[in-house]
Amino acid sequence: MRPVRITKTVGEYLLAPGALAHLGEVLRGRADGQDDRVLYLIDHYFRGGKLIERLPLKPADAILYVDTADEPTTDGIDALVRRVRQNPMPKAVVGIGGGATLDTAKAVSNLLTNDGAAADYQGWDLVSRPGVFKIGVPTVSGTGAEASRTCVMMNHARNLKLGMNSDHTVFDRLVLDPDLTATVPRDQYFFTGMDTYIHCVESLSGRYRHAFADACSDQALRLCRAVFLCEDMRSAANRERLMVASFLGGSAIGNSYVGLVHPFSAGLSMVLHTHHCVSNCIVMNVMDEFYPSATEEFRRMAAAQGVAVPRGLCRQLSEQQYRALYEATIVHAKPLTNALGDGFRDVLSFDKVREIFRMM
Ligand code: NAD
Ligand code: ZN
């Protein structure tokens, strides 16, 4: 099961409170000439706010706001790329936002230098040319999208949620500024932060081992505990800790597999359209049988932060919906094998999967 291949991680990053003020330096040598166009893809939350005034904008640059009410789609990415192509090619793409915006920036950067549509690249190692130089600036911590080699996109035509898994998808540089996460609403902060915690729990409990991924996951878990088991998860020190935990968790993703939570969570997202991070938390809340100590710890963290994880979502669905949830879960063979071995279908019969969903 263990793939042997060269692993790419983000090589250059700037981590400090207030790091955004140094974005000009981070662009240096790449897109700092007066005519070097920089394309900013920014979460719509920041439209009209102070953050925009702090960017080192030149007349040649462009800003496009990314609507993150829904997760990125292949059609949405294609439409963005068509818009960008109406103007001269940017020298750099800067993504500023949470996982949805970072993924959008990665996908757009790749498609500007590779022909075809976003859907053509959903899969593994299909991107042949490096994208436009890309810089990631996370404003919510937890998904690890800033560090990972994928950008997740919904493909509604093919009923598929899959990223462009490629070395070319990795950001070239990162600006990690914990000041930027100060405005994230409590629940969102918790749900997204938990993506790192859950990923690391799944990875460390799996059958597949990789020493680098294990070390990153171990440390990320420690940081998550420090953040979520204390009184104020959003203190300045905790925002910095969580940003590092997310970066480490994302760096582990390339050499680790998730386990049971992510497949069930993907089922929820596909069938009931709940977002990735809240879906993970809904699933984690009922994982007593598979991850007993982590489930108990997860609940303690939610209680410590006064966050209510949604419940009752799947209690009264039609048989057809349970069937769709089962199909959208069981299709994730790699993580399910990592968690339960080759016989995962014997453990996760339709009845068992329905019972688990009903508990949510
Ligand atoms: P998000 O990008 O979906 O944003 C969530 C909400 O927070 C949005 O409403 C946004 O406007 C708001 N927001 C962002 N920054 C803010 C700030 N500083 N202050 C106030 N509000 C702010 O959130 P997310 O949970 O980081 O990302 C989820 C996405 O990440 C999903 O699309 C998922 O598929 C993807 N993902 C990608 C990877 C990867 O490795 N590429 C891994 C996991 C998840
Ligand atoms: Zn995740």
What type of residue is 129? R
User: Is the confidence at residue 89, as pLDDT, over 70?
Assistant: yes
Amino acid identity of residue 186, one-letter, is R
Give kind and range of the element (H or E) at residue 42.
Answer: strand 38-43
Instruction: State how far the Cα of 273 lies from the Cα of 266, in Å rounded to an integer.
Output: 9
Atom number, ligand 1, closest to the C-alpha of residue 148: 40
Asked if residues 105 and 148 have their Cβ atoms less than 8 Å apart, the reply is no
Query: 50: helix, coil or strand?
Result: helix
The predicted pLDDT at position 2 comes to 62
Rounded CA separation 205/220 (Å): 15
**What is the average pLDDT value for the chain, to the nearest integer?**
96
Decide if pLDDT at 158 tops 90: no
Taking the centre of ligand 1 as the mean of its atom positions, its distance from the CA of residue 22, in whole angstroms, is: 23
Tokens of 79: 């439409």
- Cβ 109 vs Cβ 170: under 8 Å: no
Q: Does position 1 have pLDDT exceeding 60, yes or no? A: no
Maximum Cα interatomic distance, the chain, rounded to a whole number of Å: 63
Tell me whether strands 92-97 and 133-138 are parallel, antiparallel or unpaired.
parallel
**Residue among 308, 285, 288 nearest 298 (CA):** 285
Q: What percent of the chain has pLDDT over 70?
A: 99
Residue-wise pLDDT tens digits, 216-233:
999 999 999 999 999 999
CA–centroid distance, 198 to ligand 2, in Å, is 8
Residues in the chain: 360
What is the rounded average pLDDT of the residues 112-120? 98
Residue 1 CA to residue 16 CA, distance in Å, equals 38
Any ligand 1 atom below 6 A from CB of 184: yes
Q: What is the pTM of this model?
A: 0.97
In sequence order, which ranges of the chain are alpha helices (DSSP H)?
23-27, 50-53, 74-85, 99-113, 186-205, 211-228, 236-253, 261-272, 276-284, 292-305, 319-330, 333-340, 344-347, 350-359
Any atom of ligand 1 within 6 Å of the Cβ of 73: no
Residue of 140, 190, 208 lying closest to 301 (CA atoms): 190
Return the beta strands (E) in 44-157 as ranges.
Answer: 62-66, 92-97, 123-124, 133-138, 152-155
For residue 346, pLDDT over 80 is answered with yes
- Ligand 1 nearest atom to the CA of residue 101, by list position: 2
Q: Is 289 left (phi over 0), alpha (psi -120 to 50) or beta?
A: alpha
Q: Which ligand minimizes its atom distance to the CA of 277?
A: 1
